[in-house]
Structure 1
């Protein structure tokens, strides 16, 4: 969902924030979206800005372009859960002690998230 909070004069969203907003719009869509559709969904961005963000996401392999029509339509290369898991794996790979990072991560889980993790691990996750 797009950030709809009012922005001060001259306040701009970062490239990463814009990419996240575009990906969120694509994930929420039932099918590929043209740059104009993304622009309408997010609001407040010039068409060229949306097109540039989509091109960056394409170059990063985060979206796929369906070449129907002049501009084509875009869809996510991975669903939101797959992308989140990929980011988590990347973060674990960057740190010096991935086990310690996992321990810290687990201590911050809600009871519901902890139950889900235990279920996913087949009940083998002990304290």
Structure 2
């Protein structure tokens, strides 16, 4: 099984910053946290190359999945009002994640573009159903 995770400032004319599940040993969500990949980079130190990602964390809202949907709800972690960022090793990424904006009762504007989806909402559902692998991973 292979996935392609992108972080590109100009992917077919629009920014694309995919989300991932990162194994951090957290006490909820089976030890994982969601991160949005802002940048891929590597550096060398002491004759060793370190492959890394700069991520914006999205943390669980509550201690369990939403009772109506069975999906975890996540929101951007903020520190003093600023999105929390971290540099992580690429090998801590377990797999790609699929988020769905929590829409509320308001309708989206007709000119809403899909590339704005991960910036437009305050909270997101972590979708366990995009494929069999994700469903098994989150079970």
Greater fraction strand: 2
Q: Which has the larger radius of gyration?
A: 1
Greater fraction helix: 1
TM-score (norm 1): 0.24
Larger RCO (alpha carbons 8 Å, 6+ apart)? 2
